A and B are shown apart, each in its own frame.
Chain A
């Protein structure tokens, strides 16, 4: 089933990195310009009518974000994952809220946590869970969680820590 689907998709779209680990699951990478067409085609013609999730990965070293659309075909009990790479400097993607209304919520979350824009997506620029956030988006890998936490939440009085190296020197060879 999946094999035939791959052949059909390859005729119509530029897809790469096709991974089929299980018989009921298929992952592929789509060109950015074609991704929404591909998702639309899967929904309208191939029965992948359910949007399971939309999420992102920050490939900091490679300078790009990866979006993953996970779709489900309930009739044949199969999943299809579509990966799209975005330039990390100008992260923006076409919205799919016209296909699934709830996609707007995912896109709003991605805007807040990764800073990926989805122009035209309803309420995409409103805060999702971070009210009054002023820092860089916190799911970006260059966001220093520890530094933020040290700056934002001052330590309770009475805390003290010892460096193992220094402490061992003091205990075991103080004169040297």
Chain B
């Protein structure tokens, strides 16, 4: 050992009595390219899901509102604020970040005399390292969760094309547990669900294999889980935070899994129906569709005596008379409805309000009325030839199929329309053509181009699998008739459907035409409502909106305080919206009757 090595530690002592030297910027040295330094957050990419806050083992992150960032579908409007008094730069928040917006720069020097500035919202408070390219990013080769959804097994097209057998097979327990395991429980989906279902809560129950708890969570906001587990439009999945790195969670299939696991006989025991106290007040519900059934369920839960008046012979509305059996088997619908009826909800069938009984009578006999009569009148294209007997309304045929009536099925069919009803009728008739002729000759034509067709993507895909030919971007011109028989449909090119303001205002190119051969034409371009039963008598007292709909408040209450409305007649577009309307109306009626 050299003498210098022994003495050098003592040399530092010469500074012992020198005044301290504050160093403003002690190092001019850049950190390593993947150094875990100060945070960066891309404000546009971040959706405020709070998963960073959840995983932080130091409780260093708060989710806070940030000026200029609003709350909307798929974005809570909150952003993470990090307390550098607690952060240990472990980067778990970066690794878990669902959108990949949160990263770390390689900056490591930040000097200030005010300790409070070290609690900041990265990305919202400008910092010198905001644009820094170097720093820690989540490595590509691993994810803290599975980004791909567990695929759903389906009956293959060959096996289903001639029958109405249910296509989707449903998850097994192992599949459901693995799918549920992908959810980060951020809850962003809840606001987007029209019924605001407790989605993370029931997915958690699936993960914990607690089906009783899962069923209770479902029934808090939705008394038709077998139905919605199959045919829901699942808007929740469009905002799922898992979609940014992979597939959104199969929320709909997990809901179906729960309902499928619990046999009907156990519902009463699990959901505890006997605790309901009966009130003397009576409520009439018009229409046994999703809106009416939902209102009936929650009103019965609140103790009201409910009677549902239904025009048809069986309950379900569009769920039974619109949606085909291969998407929603009748026994599953009956399971949901059976439980609602078991609560003492009365149902009066084959009774059309306005014909068999008047609304005034219901008003006289009941304390409140909830009307959810839906849209059951098919709209016509009114093109030349549309009054021919071989031109049908989709909704009429779908109803006849459910009722087991004999259906006119020609060898060549054209369906006009691009929504889910058009898909339902096309796929129903394709099956019937297959049964009758052994092949499918069916063209579905829509105004919309394929990217903006209102039908669900899976409907378009599955229709094609079942040999339906889809011809988008055509407007119906006229139906060609020779010797009293339909020969086909003349169409003209549709250039755009909506104008700059987003209003329905289709533009056509008259020079580009086409002709689709057919012996039968089906119109599926939408349905209208028939609410004469209320407007006729109460016209002068029922306030209408500028678009000629009955004006209602958030609970569905009209200007006649005893009359509540919901579902498609107040602007809903699907079952889950109607279910939400029914639930809100039940709360509104309860408030109205307890004033």
Which residues of A come within 8 Å of B, CB atoms?
145-146, 149-150, 153, 155-156, 158-165, 167-169, 171-173, 175-176
Interface check B53, CB cutoff 8 A: yes
Measured CA separation A172–B191 after assembly (Å): 7
Digitize B192-205: 1 where CB-to-A-CB distance is under 8 Å, 0 elsewhere.
Answer: 00001000100000
Check A160 against B64 for contact (C-beta < 8 Å). yes
State the 10 A-B residue pairs at the shortest beta-carbon distance, nearest first: A165-B187, A161-B62, A164-B76, A171-B71, A145-B57, A168-B191, A164-B50, A146-B57, A149-B58, A172-B191
Check B64 against A164 for contact (C-beta < 8 Å). no
Which residues of B37-67 have CB atoms within 8 Å of chain A's CB atoms? 48-50, 53, 56-59, 61-65
Query: Given A162-B64, A165-B190, is A156 in contact with B196 using a C-beta cutoff of 8 Å?
Result: no
Check B85 against A164 for contact (C-beta < 8 Å). no
A63 to chain B, nearest CB (A): 21
Question: CB-CB < 8 A to B554: which residues of A?
Answer: 175-176
Who on chain A is nearest to B190 by CB?
A165
Question: CB-CB < 8 A to B187: which residues of A?
Answer: 163-165, 168
Measured CA separation A67–B190 after assembly (Å): 45
Question: CB-CB < 8 A to B191: which residues of A?
Answer: 165, 168-169, 172-173
A-B contact pairs, 27 of them (CB 8 A): A145-B57, A146-B56, A146-B58, A149-B59, A149-B86, A153-B86, A155-B83, A155-B86, A156-B116, A159-B119, A161-B61, A162-B62, A162-B65, A163-B50, A163-B63, A163-B187, A164-B48, A164-B186, A164-B188, A165-B188, A167-B71, A168-B76, A168-B191, A169-B191, A171-B70, A175-B554, A176-B554
Who on chain B is nearest to A174 by CB?
B554
Question: CB-CB < 8 A to A175: which residues of B?
Answer: 554
Question: CB-CB < 8 A to A164: which residues of B?
Answer: 48-50, 63, 76, 78, 186-188
Check A168 against B63 for contact (C-beta < 8 Å). no
Check B63 against A173 for contact (C-beta < 8 Å). no
Measured CA separation A168–B241 after assembly (Å): 15
Check B77 against A167 for contact (C-beta < 8 Å). yes
Interface check B234, CB cutoff 8 A: no
Measured CA separation A11–B76 after assembly (Å): 63
Question: CB-CB < 8 A to A161: which residues of B?
Answer: 53, 61-64
Query: Given A146-B58, A156-B85, A161-B63, is A167 in contact with B76 using a C-beta cutoff of 8 Å?
Result: yes
Question: CB-CB < 8 A to A167: which residues of B?
Answer: 63, 65, 71, 76-78
Who on chain A is nearest to B48 by CB?
A164
Interface centre among A149, A168, A172, A175 (most CB of B within 10 A): A168
Who on chain A is nearest to B55 by CB?
A146
Interface check B431, CB cutoff 8 A: no
Check B59 against A155 for contact (C-beta < 8 Å). yes
Which residues of B165-216 have CB atoms within 8 Å of chain A's CB atoms? 186-188, 190-191, 196, 200
Check B116 against A168 for contact (C-beta < 8 Å). no
Measured CA separation A48–B101 after assembly (Å): 46
Interface check B584, CB cutoff 8 A: yes
Who on chain B is nearest to A149 by CB?
B58
Question: CB-CB < 8 A to B65: which residues of A?
Answer: 162, 167
Check A162 against B78 for contact (C-beta < 8 Å). yes
Who on chain B is nearest to A172 by CB?
B191
Question: CB-CB < 8 A to A172: which residues of B?
Answer: 71-72, 191
List 18 other contacts, CB 8 Å, given A149-B59, A161-B63: A145-B58, A146-B56, A146-B58, A149-B58, A153-B86, A156-B116, A158-B116, A162-B64, A162-B65, A162-B78, A164-B188, A168-B187, A168-B190, A169-B196, A171-B70, A171-B71, A172-B71, A172-B191
Measured CA separation A165–B190 after assembly (Å): 7
A146 is contacted by which of B59, B71, B76 (Cβ under 8 Å)?
A: B59
Question: CB-CB < 8 A to B56: which residues of A?
Answer: 146
Question: CB-CB < 8 A to B200: which residues of A?
Answer: 165
Measured CA separation A158–B72 after assembly (Å): 27
Measured CA separation A161–B62 after assembly (Å): 5
Who on chain B is nearest to A165 by CB?
B187
Check B83 against A159 for contact (C-beta < 8 Å). yes
Question: CB-CB < 8 A to A149: which residues of B?
Answer: 57-59, 86
Who on chain A is nearest to B185 by CB?
A165
Measured CA separation A19–B196 after assembly (Å): 51
A12 to chain B, nearest CB (A): 38
B59 is contacted by which of A150, A158, A163, A165 (Cβ under 8 Å)?
A: A150
Measured CA separation A161–B86 after assembly (Å): 15
Measured CA separation A173–B196 after assembly (Å): 10
B581 to chain A, nearest CB (A): 11
Interface centre among A146, A156, A163, A165 (most CB of B within 10 A): A165
Measured CA separation A155–B554 after assembly (Å): 41
B379 to chain A, nearest CB (A): 31
Check B63 against A162 for contact (C-beta < 8 Å). yes
